[in-house]
A and B are shown apart, each in its own frame.
Chain A
Amino acid sequence: MSKAVSALGGVSHKGFAEVAEAGLRGMITVRGDLSSAAMKKAVKAATGTAVPAARRIEIDGDKAAAWMSPDELLVMVPYEGAQDAVAALEKALAGEHHLVADVSDARSVFTVKGSKAPEALMKLCPVDFGTLAEGEIRRTRAAQVAAAFWKSGADEFTLVSFRSVAGYVMGLLEVSSRKGGEIFPA
């Protein structure tokens, strides 16, 4: 497993917010009936959380389940545990129509940290940070590419993009968090 590397090797930049590539993370696309008992059980077993409601992310330590669409979840686990989680999910959902796909290597994960983190993201994502609730995940865009993010700490957001555009997304985050670009200077 030591051969696996993230797209940008963990590069980071410090401006008025700190942006960093967070490294590999186990990610599994799960499609199916989100209201079924089997799904609830499968998600609980994989992440320790409930099935998230619309636009919500349920987090338990280093695992999480995020709502993607009315019939799709994104299950997150440590990278090393992804294959086992896929197998377990497959098994738990075996009785019903579903799709489980490992997408751990198709994504890049970024963190944006600092009290002014929203000011970097609001330059790229058409998202209302004033009404963004705790535990909400937003599927949106970062400038010209698809992205999703959620609040992952007191002053931290985690943003996910496709792996092939990792360099583009880091370029966006770097320029958007550059000092002097604060939107609401104190």
Chain B
Amino acid sequence: MSTRLSKGGRLIDRAKPLNFTFNGRRMAGYEGDTLASALLGADQMLVGRSFKYHRPRGIIASGAEEPNALLGLGEGGKFEPNQRATTTELFDGASTTSQNHWPSLEFDVGAINNKLGRFLPGGFYYKTFMFPRFAWKHVFEPVIRQSAGLGKAPTARDEDRYEYAYAFADVVVAGGGIAGLTAALAAAKAGKRVWLMEQTAHWGGRAVVDGVEIDGKPAEAWVNETVEALGKMDNVTLRTRTMASGLFDHGYIMGYERVADHTPGDGRPRHRLWRIRAGHVITATGAIERSLSFAGNDIPGVMLASAVRDYVVNWAVSPGDRTVIVTNNDDAYRTALALLDAGLLVPAVIDARPEATGALPEAVRARGVRVLAGHGIAKVKGGKRVTGVSICVQAGEGAEIESIACDAVAMSGGWSPVVHLWSHCGGKLIWDEERAMFRPDPKRPATGDDGEAMVTAVGSANGFLTPDEVLADAHKAAGGQGKAPAAPAESEAPMMPVWIMPQGAGPDLRMKMWLDPQNDVKVSDVQLAAREGYESVEHTKRYTTLGMATDQGKMSNINGLAILSDALHRPIPETGTTTFRPPYTPISIGAIAGEARGDIFQPLRRTPMHAWHEIHGAHWEPVGLWRRPYCFLRTGEGVHDAVNREIRTVRNSVGLLDASTLGKIIVKGPDAGKFLDMLYTNMMSTLPVGKCRYGLMCSENGFLSDDGVVVRLSEDTWLCHTTTGGADRIHGWMEDWLQCEWWDWKVYTANVTEQYAQVAIAGPNARKLLEKLGGMDLSKEAIPFMEWREGTLGGFRARVHRISFSGELSFEVAVPASEGRAFWDALIAAGEEFGVAPYGTEAMHIMRAEKGFIMIGDETDGTVIPQDLNLQWAISKKKDDYLGKRAQERSHMASPDRWKLVGLETLDGGVIPDGAYAVAEGVNANGQRNMQGRVTSTYYSPTLNKGIAMGLVKHGPDRMGEVLDFPVDNGKVVKARIVDPVFYDKDGEKQNV
């Protein structure tokens, strides 16, 4: 059983015990523990069930590579699944649960899958797609979904807060081990602005645990001194609990800071996502130990050798009284020494190499430990925890020659540099035959905007495994002056690649050799994939799911591709690696969202009258980022009733529309007239000062893009109104032409959309209402239809336009936005005697449809040209050119067969569904019914007491009076007659009074 040792533990503070629960059971740990060390200290070796076979799983590693120990952490609004126990710091009151089991961790029904393992081979999932056809939907899919999977998604709203932060540095060093510290110090001494990030809460990395001596001092002392020196430098920023999670183009590096994971509820943001622009990135991300592939290597109690000594040295946790060590290299012998130093037993070291005579093996032998060279583990014994190992010769097929009872197995298959950051942006790798590892190829780094390397790998991340090499490499790469820190040590014997143990293992053993314990991928699965024709490592990955779990195969991917290479009889570098993608380990969705949640999820644009609308029943409609009132609901009123009431108010008396969102762009300069003549289809240069003109804008391809009223403010100044959604786009469109094409034209633009609050006062009583405010002569003679005047209206600086989108007598008045609310209040007060009411966008839409006015986005959809809408009157024939003119002359654009705008009136007075199509005789080449038109706008008109619609119909204007069939749902057909699109006041007598 695993337990807490009575002495030692460099990271724990025994004076500060912490309580936590695991599946509801109370357990205790210490400050400085990770969840993993605390669980092991409490003899909780079994921490979860595997993805597919529901096999019992324990903690394997001590860091980011951990595949098994994923827990649900917290409750309610603090619950988060798949938290890696090895990288999560313990805090008081932590509530943890194991995952993927039913009904309980100890007894899991799904473990039956384990017995059925031969029916769940690699690629099983895909095979179920193929045969028999009915089985996927009715058998496999529901069963697989039920039985496979890890954590459950949270159901409550996340209680924590998150944020971004931006930073800039000359050099960003990823990793706070001895390589990172050395590189940071060298760069800092050279005067660079340095950022140093360490993903754990502690500096120093492995060297501190491994008992390295640097410059004659224990590594821990050297690390402390170096951190202190860096901390005193103004040009250095040190950040623990911050993982360099991804590297992107141009030296953009993402850091994931776990600000308050270990102190929940203290008011700090939980996570902070750093986005750092780095002049150069140094990856000092270390190396990860590989597992060995022997049967039963997934049984709880089998751990990485480095993790075993981490637990002993850092957290005073014993994995068991008796630990057998199995290795293919000298480094694992350090684990034997650490265990012996802690007073624990090492029954044997099983070394796959034919001989083990280096300094470390000899030191272990000298302590009385059996070293079995040339041997391997045939299989591990035990179920929910290790009870012993069966020993065989590595060269054989797995015949047991001896059985050794033990509580734990510490395995080491060699080391893989952490090349993720190096690779994220395109850095390439080379295969190092001697060390049996992929390491960064310094000749093919990721490059920055200058074509030079933007990233340098140092230390173990660069393939150097001895401290002396690591320090020298980091010092040199960071431009260090003088001598590098030194850590002389006795040399280690070469490792021997061991991809399968024993090398001649038969199918029964290979079926129990786990490559990817999280996704339940075994040696036999990869071999099967190779036999089934999978050659590309990327395809094999997806077929077998090797390395596709949340740990992304950090521990064992190399083993998998070595197995694949062997099965395909080709060298490992020819197989290559899968692609390394950010983030390095999963980051929280909260951190990605940052501050963008709740009220500030997205910017909400408010007009100056927004607050008034809000308290007067506004039923909102999003228009771009604005919210506009769709209608104003009165007590007991439905939306439809409100809209009809608003329309009747306008038609019979007077209504107010908040039109502040309309785009307003000033265009000024000696060439402004020429410019607007190019932008609009009609002539704007001839518009007299004081007048307004409706205009259309098209794209270069001739399609109608935006419309609005243009106002001539002065000899050289125009004000262009755009649609609400078009303001920014059209301003950008203008600047694009002015800056890129007609850069020599003397024209300036300014988007003054938000400078003005604008109100449409519409209805027969509109003039009377405004006259009550006083200050301007608003008579028909003083301000005729389609003209504007400036003045003071009721004490407000106002620009009054006689324009009408409703067909009624209408004024649009612009006042400074800061006075918008006061102006609106004044209008409401002055209008009381007329029964004034605000109206919303739907009433506006219906009234314009009654008048046959088109709406951008309803009658247009990017395929419609002004001619389709019978807007020839707004297209100048005098002009040589305008944007879209040439395109509109193309044969298909000029074709008389284009669908054209008409009005539609149902025979029964009902409303045609929006978007309904009119059918024609016959079928097309695809056997589909031919079409001859479609509905673009359709409403119930309370003015006319019937349904009205506009639509585009083939030869429509020539077919007045014809009846079209519009098939709608349930086989019903709506019959509608083609009519003039102007349903109301065709002669415009009402607006021109």
Contacts and interface: CB of A to CB of B under 8 A. Distances in A.
A172 interface: yes
Contact of A101 (B166, B596, B666, B796): B666
B275 interface: yes
A48 to B, nearest CB: 24
Nearest to A102: B755
A185 to B, nearest CB: 9
B167 A122 contact: yes
Nearest to A5: B818
B746 A97 contact: yes
Contacts of B125: none
Given A5-B821, A29-B750, A105-B817, A99 B755 contact: no
A179 B602 CA distance: 23
Given A122-B166, A179-B267, A172 B819 contact: no
B816 A104 contact: yes
A3 B822 contact: yes
A11 interface: no
Contacts of B666: 99, 101
B24 interface: no
A109 to B, nearest CB: 12
A101 B750 contact: yes
Given A5-B818, A130-B193, A175-B161, A162 B596 contact: no
Contacts of B531: none
A135 B752 CA distance: 27
B668 A164 contact: no
B755 A165 contact: no
Contacts of A4: 816, 818-819, 822
Contacts of A181: 163, 268-269
A9 to B, nearest CB: 10
Nearest to A27: B755
B606 interface: yes
B603 interface: yes
Contact of B604 (A5, A31, A163, A165): A165
B595 A98 contact: no
Contact of A105 (B164, B599, B604, B756): B756
Given A105-B756, A175-B600, A163 B817 contact: yes
A24 B818 contact: yes
B165 interface: yes
A31 B748 contact: yes
A163 B166 contact: no
Contact of A131 (B164, B168, B266, B275): B168
Contacts of B161: 175, 178
A111 interface: no
B723 interface: no
Interface in A15-48: 24, 29, 31-32
A183 B255 CA distance: 14
A123 B816 contact: no
A175 B595 contact: yes
B608 interface: yes
B824 to A, nearest CB: 11
Interface in B739-789: 746, 748-750, 752-756
A135 to B, nearest CB: 20
B748 A106 contact: no
B607 interface: yes
A126 B275 contact: yes
B754 A164 contact: yes
Contacts of A106: 752-755, 817
Interface string B806-829: 000000000011110111000000
B137 interface: no
A183 B608 CA distance: 35
A122 B608 CA distance: 29
A88 B23 CA distance: 76
Contact of B602 (A122, A126, A144, A162): A144
A183 B669 CA distance: 48
Contacts of A31: 748, 750
B818 A97 contact: no
Interface in B164-212: 164-168, 193
Nearest to A4: B818
Contacts of B606: 7, 164-167
A165 B819 contact: no
B984 interface: no
Given A5-B821, A106-B817, A165-B604, A171 B266 contact: no
A22 to B, nearest CB: 14
A55 to B, nearest CB: 16
A164 B166 CA distance: 26
Contacts of B754: 103, 105-107, 162-164
Contacts of B602: 144
A180 B269 contact: yes
Nearest to B167: A122
A128 interface: yes
Contacts of B748: 31-32, 71, 97-99
Contacts of A166: 606
A157 interface: no
A183 B167 CA distance: 11
Given A144-B603, A172-B595, A101 B818 contact: no
Contacts of B193: 130
Given A123-B163, A176-B163, A168 B600 contact: yes
A6 interface: yes
B732 interface: no
A123 B161 CA distance: 13
Given A168-B600, A168-B604, A103 B168 contact: no
Contacts of B599: 167-168, 171
A103 B755 contact: yes
B266 A180 contact: yes
Contacts of B819: 3-5, 105
A15 to B, nearest CB: 10
B595 A176 contact: yes
B31 to A, nearest CB: 19
A181 B165 CA distance: 11
Contacts of A143: 164, 594-596, 600, 603
A123 B165 CA distance: 4
Nearest to A182: B268
B755 A101 contact: yes
Contacts of A131: 168
A97 B669 contact: yes
B169 to A, nearest CB: 9
B816 A128 contact: no
B636 interface: no
A101 B666 CA distance: 8
B795 interface: yes
B835 interface: no
Given A102-B755, A104-B816, A163-B754, A128 B168 contact: yes
Contact of B603 (A32, A124, A165): A165
Contacts of A126: 166, 275, 277
B195 to A, nearest CB: 11
A94 B439 CA distance: 68
A14 B600 CA distance: 19
B127 interface: no
Interface in B588-602: 594-596, 599-600, 602
A127 interface: yes
8 smallest CB-CB distances across A and B, nearest first, come from A180-B267, A99-B748, A4-B818, A164-B605, A106-B754, A3-B822, A105-B817, A128-B168
Interface of A: 3-7, 24, 29, 31-32, 71, 97-99, 101-107, 122-128, 130-131, 143-145, 162-168, 171-172, 175-176, 178-181, 183
20 contacts: A5-B821, A29-B750, A31-B748, A97-B670, A99-B668, A103-B755, A105-B819, A106-B753, A122-B167, A143-B164, A143-B594, A144-B603, A163-B754, A163-B817, A164-B606, A164-B607, A175-B595, A175-B600, A180-B266, A181-B268
Given A144-B596, A164-B605, 10 more contacts: A5-B821, A24-B818, A104-B755, A105-B816, A105-B819, A107-B754, A123-B164, A143-B595, A163-B817, A175-B600
